[in-house]
Amino acid sequence: MSDIESIIEWYLLSGVEDFCADEPMNALHTADSPKTIKPAAPENNAVRPAITPLSQINMAACRNAEELCRKAQTLDDLKAMVESFEGCPLKFSANSTVFGYGNPQAEVFIIGEAPGSDEDRVGEPFVGRSGQLLTKMLQTIGLDRHDCYITNVLPWRPPGNRTPTDEEVVTCLPFLKKQIELVSPKIIFILGRSAANTLLDNSENISSLRGHFIDYTTETGKVIPTLSSFHPAYLLRTTSQKAKSWSDLLRLKRKLEEI
Ligand code: URA
């Protein structure tokens, strides 16, 4: 499928069916033009600005998670360990442990923030409205959701979908890092600011992070390129950012063909 066909399909899948301007616009060309970038609306009113210094966090649970991760040889081992882990209070308010899903040898590793209510009910990441949009986004660049590995920073839903606390994130981070190590993907696609700040250990907003390849180095020293982009939940609310999201998808596709 050509880039033009894919972008038309992407707009139709996103619910954009009408023309709203007299003059045609080349979305492939203007999506990233510095002249067209306006100050971004906050992606989420309650974003966590940066990870609290580790010294201020109760590290016992985190060390416990790290210890478990050292013992895990496979994703199945790790899944069983996460399911029996009791160091994160979110577990006790959630219905399910939502561990990563997909191809254990995937080339593309996708990270979101935390399960929502649909994911908590089904026990699988990205199965609700955001997940449906994610599946379609991947399809437009020829990727099948089942061929990727999809996970979240947190394996449990924060009550009422509230923003995860630093303590919850730091406690569960070893599980995410170990999944990356075990899958050993070619590329990591990060959805949204919260997941990007967590994995890349920075506090940049998503508008400056998105579209750039930033290397992530695993505990075993493997360097994996990451690409951050908008979270599908944000795209569902903010259709004006879809052109940029589309250009990120094309970047992901090109990079995969290259490496
Ligand atoms: N949002 C996320 O970040 N992850 C999910 O699994 C679902 C929605």
CA of 141 to the centre of ligand 1 (A): 20
Does residue 40 lie in a domain region?
Answer: no
Does residue 35 lie in a domain region?
Answer: no
The pTM is what? 0.81
Angle made by CA atoms 133, 134, 136, in degrees to the nearest 5: 65
Instruction: Evaluate whether 151 touches 110 at the Cβ level (below 8 Å).
Output: yes
Higher pLDDT, 228 or 24: 228
Cα separation, 189 vs 183, in Å, equals 14
Which atom of ligand 1 is least distant from the CA of 130? 8
Does residue 197 lie in a domain region?
Answer: yes
The predicted structure's pLDDT at residue 108: 98
Residue whose pair of structure tokens reads 């994610």 in the numeric block: 134
Does residue 206 lie in a domain region?
Answer: yes
CA of 20 to the centre of ligand 1 (A): 31
Burial 76-85 (b: 16+ CB within 10 A, else e): eebbebbeeb
Does residue 59 lie in a domain region?
Answer: yes
> How many domains is the chain partitioned into structurally?
1
pLDDT in tens, 115-152: 999 999 999 999 999 999 999 999 999 999 999 999 99
Q: At what angle do helices 166-183 and 193-200 cross, to 10 degrees?
A: 70
CATH number for position 103: 3.40.470.10
Protein residues with CB under 6 Å of any ligand 1 atom:
112-116, 119, 125-126, 128, 130-131, 152, 233
Closest CA to 6 of 165, 136, 152, 199: 136
Can you name the residues that pair with 26 across neighbouring β-strands?
none
Give the range of the structural domain holding residue 199, as residue numbers without chain letter.
53-258
CA of 60 to the centre of ligand 1 (A): 27
Does residue 3 lie in a domain region?
Answer: no
Higher pLDDT, 119 or 34: 119
User: Residue of the nearest CA to atom 7 in ligand 1?
Assistant: 126
Does residue 187 lie in a domain region?
Answer: yes
The predicted structure's pLDDT at residue 48: 56
Does residue 48 lie in a domain region?
Answer: no
CA of 44 to the centre of ligand 1 (A): 14
CA of 18 to the centre of ligand 1 (A): 29
